[in-house]
Chain A
C-alpha cells in the first residue's frame, strides 16, 4: 500500500533555532500534502495545504513566516519551523494524496521538543 515517510521521528532543538521536517511519498505522486499539528491530548489541527509547485495555503492563525512549507516535487514536502520556541513543541503530522478521489495517507509524525 501507499506509504508516506516522515523524518525525523523526533527532534529536540534549542529555542531560537530552526528545524526542518520532511514528508515523502514513497510509491505515489503526492499532488497535495497537508500539515497538521497536534498538542498533547488534543485533536489534529490543520496548519496548511500545499500543492506541488505552488505556494502553500495556510489556515487562519498559522504564521506563514514561521512555518515555512515547500512542496517542490511530487514526492517531497518540507515544513521548517523557524526560530522555534518552547510553545512550538508539538507532534507534527503530514498527509499526502494523489489526485481526485485517491485516499489520503498519513506519515508517522514528528515529535518536536524545543528547550
Chain B
C-alpha cells in the first residue's frame, strides 16, 4: 500500500528566508504532484513531476524528484507572505496513472510566512 509522508507538517518562516518541504513515498510511482490549498478552498495545481531528476520552477517555488530515493522536495526561495498556505504532495499509486492509478496525498505542510 502506497504511503506518502511529508515533513515538516508545520512551518513558520520569516519573509526572505529559504526552506524546503520534503515528500517521501513508499512504492514506485510514475508521477508526483504538488498542490497548494488556501483555507476553505480546493486545490491549486503547482507542479507535476514525471521522471527521475525532474526539476520545475515557478516563481519562488522549485520542485524536484528523485525516484530512486522516492523523494520529492519543494524549495521555497525568499519567502513572502503570499506563500502562506498548506502544501500537499500527491503520488500516483499502482497501476500507472494512465491505467487508472489513484492520487494518494501526503499529510500536508502548513506554511506560515511572517514579516
A residues in contact (CB < 8 Å) with B: 6, 32, 34, 36, 41-46, 49, 51, 93, 95, 99-101, 103-104, 106-109, 111
Contacts of B33 in A (CB 8 A): 104
Beta-carbon contact of B41 and A108 below 8 Å: yes
Residue of A nearest to B50 (CB): A101
Q: Which chain A residues lie closer than 8 Å to B100 at the CB level?
A: 32, 49, 51
Given contacts A101-B97, A103-B48, contact A46 B103 (CB under 8 A): yes
Cα of A48 to Cα of B102 in the assembled complex, Å: 10
Q: Is the CB of B88 within 8 A of A44?
A: yes
Q: Does B40 contact A (CB under 8 A)?
A: yes
CB pair A43 B106 closer than 8 Å: yes
- Evaluate whether A46 and B102 lie within 8 angstroms (CB atoms) in the complex, with A93-B42, A93-B43 already known: yes
> 26 interchain pairs (CB within 8 A)?
A34-B102, A34-B103, A36-B105, A41-B110, A42-B107, A43-B105, A43-B107, A44-B90, A46-B102, A46-B103, A49-B100, A49-B102, A51-B100, A93-B42, A93-B43, A95-B103, A99-B98, A100-B98, A103-B48, A104-B33, A106-B42, A106-B45, A107-B42, A109-B41, A109-B42, A111-B40
Q: How far is the CA of A34 from the CA of B33 in the complex (A)?
A: 16
Q: Out of B45, B97, B105, B110, which one reaches A44, CB within 8 Å?
A: B105
